[in-house]
């Protein structure tokens, strides 16, 4: 069984150290919510901005991580862009009839997780000022782990099944 990323950052990952590289990942405040709202709307999703300091509804990881409930993705200004795109990707890979039942945790399927990781990278190209190169660097800095050592290596050399999953469903 293969898994492209760990289920959660380890205590030694940059995510656990607020002064480490993860503190420099791109946040929603840097790109604003307008383009992200439009991107999600093209996939039948809503983006709900959460006020600073308020808990993010439906956040699996807590803190500043994006959350999902039904067809809505929740984020704050301090939410990393990669987190927003990852959670949105979870909803996009689900058949629309399954989305209303989602609350916090979209799937336990490795196949869907792989497709979500691939899709979040592709979606980054649709956000001005983000792009896949920056997003993959942020994924690495945050603590995503891939068999080949980086998001870029996985995306270029080991993500064929994820791409096929997305193509078969007309998502790419």
118 class by beta-carbon count within 10 Å (0-12 exposed, 13-18 middle, 19+ buried): buried
* pLDDT at residue number 13: 40
pLDDT on residue 15:
47
Q: What are the helix (H) ranges across the chain?
A: 28-31, 34-41, 81-93, 110-124, 131-142, 151-157, 160-168
Q: What is the pLDDT of residue 5?
A: 43
Length of the chain: 172
Give the model's confidence band at 106: pLDDT under 50 very low, under 70 low, under 90 confident, else very high. Answer: confident
- Reduced to 3 states, what is the DSSP secondary structure of residue 100? helix
Residues 66 and 83 sit within 8 Å (Cβ to Cβ): yes
Give pLDDT tens digits for 42-59: 999 999 999 999 999 999
More confident residue, 19 or 64: 64
Cβ atoms of residues 144 and 83 within 8 Å: no
Quote the pLDDT of residue 20. Answer: 55
Beta bridge partners of 59: 67
Res 7 pLDDT > 90: no
What's the pLDDT at 139? 93
Residue 18 has pLDDT above 80, yes or no: no
Tell me the C-alpha to C-alpha distance, in Å, between residue 119 and each of 21, 92, 158.
23, 9, 14
Higher pLDDT, 85 or 10: 85
Instruction: Lowest mean pLDDT of 3-7, 38-42, 112-116, name the range.
Output: 3-7
């Amino acid at each position: 069984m293969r898994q492209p990323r760990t289920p959660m950052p380890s205590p030694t990952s940059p995510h656990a150290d607020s002064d480490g590289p993860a503190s420099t990942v791109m946040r929603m405040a840097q790109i604003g919510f307008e383009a992200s709202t439009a991107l999600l709307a093209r996939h039948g999703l809503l983006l709900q901005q959460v006020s600073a300091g308020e808990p993010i509804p439906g956040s699996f990881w807590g803190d500043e991580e994006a959350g999902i409930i039904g067809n809505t993705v929740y984020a704050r200004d301090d939410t990393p862009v990669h987190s927003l795109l990852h959670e949105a990707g979870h909803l996009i890979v689900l058949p629309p009839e399954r989305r209303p039942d989602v609350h916090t945790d979209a799937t336990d399927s490795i196949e869907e997780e792989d497709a979500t990781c691939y899709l979040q990278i592709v979606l980054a190209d649709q956000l001005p000022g983000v792009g896949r190169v920056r997003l993959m660097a942020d994924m690495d800095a945050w603590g995503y782990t891939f068999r080949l050592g980086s998001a870029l290596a996985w995306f270029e050399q080991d993500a064929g099944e994820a791409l096929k999953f997305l193509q078969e469903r007309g998502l790419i």
